[in-house]
Chain A
């Protein structure tokens, strides 16, 4: 699980090693007709770290994920993903950038007509043209990783909401991307299932060194992902409270009216909430 399909030049690889700037937003502005979605948004996601976007509905959180993927173009500003400027790329050029990105959509967005195996292995079978044996092996491996190996031949309609989200995570991680984007992965799920999904996000970040951007308004999940870590010892996987230096690798960004209202770690967010009525209202 260590090799990535999208090869990078050695120098870039070195620059984007753990802690390097893998996603950079610089003064991004975006409007739809007269409605301003994002105003002067700038942030940097470091390799192996997590950015957690909070904010009210319509604050522009999901738009940020679509900008990273190149599904939307900003009106102004620059976006770098994996060392490449993507805001001015054509759809064809973006396909190469997307090889190193995985996205978990809000409701999973699984392909209804394909089985779990075909959904999870879609990119391997259709785009990367992996040999069938290798692709099947990888599909079984990622389904095992998320604990759904026995569901491989089911259709998406036969899965529960939580299982669909986990299959969506498996599909996003199948091609071993360096960056994973999660759009409200736990919305509408019960607390127990939400924790299972949160733990998948933590596992990918801590065991696979995947950089993640998480959009949510489920505060409990946001803090759980930020403040927990996954440790594998002698084939035993455990989740425990992260130490301060590890917890500070997860940064919160709160959006308000298209602007960044707060940026900092979980501890700083809790501290500022007492002084800022908007954040206090949001966190309560």
Chain B
């Protein structure tokens, strides 16, 4: 039992070391040449535009179900007019960033791990290095930049459509006037909430994409290895989204509230 635990600990520490090493190389590649602008634009499109549908649908239905559930509870206290307050606070502070993060982890994190993993097992990464290209600059930098900048934008969209979804349910199901709902939405939001909703996704986007890249570049063992890498990337980045969300929320509560 003991040697197995020791082996597991060693493997885990090695993974952490390699992850930190990759992040350090990313930091260096970010401020030195060469850069690959065409790849950066391509990744912005793949991560941002490619994830838009799934994020919009998730945001919309989350807002709708939030309004529906909270509406019935608030109705018992004669507080239907407060639905907007609840929807906006929940979507902007917590559900928007986390659900967007989870959706991007499922769609983008897995895609990156599978793509880079396939490139690893078919020697395409070695071929890149042989041709004089640094895979960190060519593959990792564009993806992490796309994650860093597109996840916050997707989160804003998700929060926005979530509130629209809440509005539809509030008006159609609970017969509350639209103006009352939107006034409640604005009344429920504080500037600190907006900051929290905007800052968190940067950390989440970075975490999801960097885990996808790390797992992809560590893939071994043919097509089976690619499958394993894809699963690992989704599981690890989904757990990391929740954990990072907690840590960043804790930090921001201390710093800005």
A interface residue numbers (CB < 8 A to B):
66, 69, 71, 91-92, 95, 98-99, 101-103, 105-107, 109-112, 122-123, 126-127, 171
**B134 adjacent to A91 (CB under 8 Å):** yes
**B131 adjacent to A69 (CB under 8 Å):** no
Counted as pairs of residues, one from A and one from B, with CB atoms less than 8 Å apart, the total is: 51
> Which residues on A sit within 8 Å (CB–CB) of B126?
66, 71, 105, 109
> Which residues on A sit within 8 Å (CB–CB) of B3?
none
Interchain residue pairs A-B with the least CB separation, the first 7: A109-B123, A109-B127, A103-B130, A105-B123, A127-B132, A98-B132, A123-B131
> Which residues on A sit within 8 Å (CB–CB) of B34?
127
**A123 adjacent to B132 (CB under 8 Å):** yes
Q: Which of B123, B124, B126, B127 has the most CB of A within 10 A?
A: B127
7 residue pairs of the A-B complex, CB under 8 angstroms, read: A71-B129, A91-B129, A95-B132, A102-B130, A109-B122, A126-B36, A127-B133
Interface string of B224-243 (1 = CB under 8 A from A): 00000000000000000000
Interface residues of B in 110-132 (CB under 8 A from A): 118, 122-124, 126-127, 129-132
CB distance from B226 to the nearest CB of A (A): 13
CB distance from B14 to the nearest CB of A (A): 12
Q: Which of B34, B118, B131 has the most CB of A within 10 A?
A: B131
> Which residues on A sit within 8 Å (CB–CB) of B131?
98, 122-123, 126-127, 171
Q: In chain A, what residue has the closest Cβ to B42? A: A113
Interface size on B, residues (CB 8 A): 15
CB-CB under 8 A for A105 and B129, given A91-B134, A95-B134 = no
Q: Which of B34, B124, B130, B134 has the most CB of A within 10 A?
A: B130
> Which residues on B sit within 8 Å (CB–CB) of A95?
132, 134
- Taking a contact as CB atoms closer than 8 A, the residue among A99, A110, A171 that contacts B132 in the complex is A99
CB distance from A84 to the nearest CB of B (A): 15
> Which residues on A sit within 8 Å (CB–CB) of B130?
69, 71, 98, 101-103, 105
Bound CA span A105–B131, Å: 12
**B129 adjacent to A111 (CB under 8 Å):** no
> Which residues on B sit within 8 Å (CB–CB) of A99?
132
**A109 adjacent to B132 (CB under 8 Å):** no
**B122 adjacent to A69 (CB under 8 Å):** no
> Which residues on A sit within 8 Å (CB–CB) of B133?
126-127
Bound CA span A127–B132, Å: 7
Bound CA span A95–B134, Å: 8
18 additional A-B pairs beyond A91-B134, A105-B126, A171-B131, beta carbons within 8 Å, are A71-B126, A71-B129, A91-B129, A92-B134, A95-B134, A98-B132, A99-B132, A102-B130, A103-B130, A105-B127, A109-B122, A109-B123, A109-B126, A110-B124, A111-B124, A112-B118, A123-B132, A127-B34
